[in-house]
Amino acid sequence: MKAAEVSETLLQQMQHYLTGLISKEDYALLAEEYYSSYGHVIEGTEFYEIFSDNIPDCCLFYVDEPGNEDEKEYNFHKILEETYDKLKHVSK
């Protein structure tokens, strides 16, 4: 597996959440499993730095922790959208 393939898959997973194809819970499970398996392929890249600085904590806080579900959904979506935009620029 090459870095470009890993980055593209992580972006596709994010896009599936952002377009409503999967829930935030499903996204968190998919991303965690894939990132755990293939994250080492993109280590040291700008994509890896942005992804690892934002997504794991976002999933932990807005999916796993208790709180207002509407607020959690809003904040989760906002962070994923912002991170997705950054990652699209660095993956080109």
Q: Provide the terminal-to-terminal Cα distance of the chain, rounded to the nearest Å.
A: 18
From first to last of the 92 residues of the chain, give the pLDDT tens digit: 799 999 999 999 999 999 999 999 999 999 999 999 999 999 999 999 999 999 999 999 999 888 899 999 999 999 999 999 999 999 86
In the prediction, which pLDDT does 1 show? 77
25 contacts: CB under 8 Å, gap ≥ 6: 63
Q: Which residues have C-beta within 8 Å of that of residue 28, sequence separation ≥ 6? A: 59, 63, 64
Domain ranges for the chain? 3-90
Cα 34 from Cα 29, distance rounded (Å): 9
Q: Report pLDDT for 92.
A: 65
pTM score: 0.92
Give residue for tokens 């992580």.
Answer: 10
